[in-house]
Amino acid sequence: MALPAMAQTVATVNGQPISQAELDFTLKAVGIQSANEEQRKALLDEVINRDVLAQEAVKQGLDKQEIVKMNIESTRKEILIASLIQDWAEKNPVTDTDIKKAYDQSLTEFKQAKEYKVSHILVKEEDKAKQLIADIKAKKVSFEEAAKKDSLDPGSGRDGGDLGWSDPSAYVPEFADAVRKAKKGEITEPVQSQYGYHIILVTDDRSVAPPSFDSSQAEIKQRLSREKLMDYVQKLRKDAKVEITEAK
């Protein structure tokens, strides 16, 4: 009768056995599902070297060092956590119904969504921004010319301040808010952000078409899985008796 893989010994190192199961596990860990003889011999050699080194570390008492013990314990916890999460995820999958419901909810948000075609001029001082606005309104200089000459944003400055089409959420909050409130074709008053003062010109806007259900499924599933996991972690934390004793 054949012995189970756990009981089969493929090598020993100073009398300590290396089992067939350990070798098979190591093969899978490096991505080899069906190893040929050469691959098995090469990996067995690596496993033997690993055991030789591990035994030598123990012989030298390194396993008694506090930092080593902490590293071992940290690795043990990481393995347990990964195993718990994998087991929980398999038992609590995101269903097709969950994904469809989340997608339908997102459609409501897209009804209000817009993209804007925006240009801007970025300067350091508010007075400089006000002077440029006055000059542009007086037609002493065009918006594009002022952007090329004075904007501190080299990327858009070269293009006359053009930032192209985008969702306002891509910008810093002050800039995004000004874009949403701007009247099409009119330049704004100076808008301050962490980068300086912006003169903003919205030349057009358009509604955003929602992504198709098929193209959204993977992202929605990933997001819902993450949210479900966070809820699970929060529940475990709430149910746990936690005492923080670290001195403040």
**Residue-level pLDDT at 3:** 46
Burial annotation 118-154 (CB, 10 A radius, 16+ → b, else e) = bbbbbbeeeebbeebbeebeeeeeebbebbbebbebe
Whether 196 has a pLDDT exceeding 60, the answer reads yes
129 near 190, Cβ under 8 Å? Answer: yes
Instruction: Work out the number of other CB atoms within 10 angstroms of the CB of residue 79.
Output: 10
Q: What is the largest CA-CA distance in the chain?
A: 97
pLDDT tens figures, 51-85 = 999 999 999 999 999 999 999 999 999 999 999 99
CA dist 128 and 140 (Å) reads 15
pLDDT tens figures, 85-118 = 999 999 999 999 999 999 998 888 777 788 999 9
28-37 average pLDDT score: 85
**Residue-level pLDDT at 115:** 93
171 near 119, Cβ under 8 Å? Answer: no
227-247 average pLDDT score: 93
Whether 124 has a pLDDT exceeding 60, the answer reads yes
**Residue-level pLDDT at 1:** 44
Whether 137 has a pLDDT exceeding 70, the answer reads yes
Percent of the chain at pLDDT above 90? 81
Give the DSSP H/E element, type plus range, for residue 145: helix 143-150
In one-letter notation, the amino acid at residue 140 is K
pLDDT band at 35 (very low <50, low <70, confident <90, very high): confident
pLDDT band at 32 (very low <50, low <70, confident <90, very high): confident
Question: What does residue 148 show for φ and ψ, rounded to 5 degrees?
Answer: -65, -35
Round the average pLDDT of the chain to a whole number and report it.
Answer: 92
**Residue-level pLDDT at 133:** 97
150-159 average pLDDT score: 94
**Residue-level pLDDT at 6:** 54
10-21 average pLDDT score: 94
Question: What does residue 208 show for φ and ψ, rounded to 5 degrees?
Answer: -100, 125
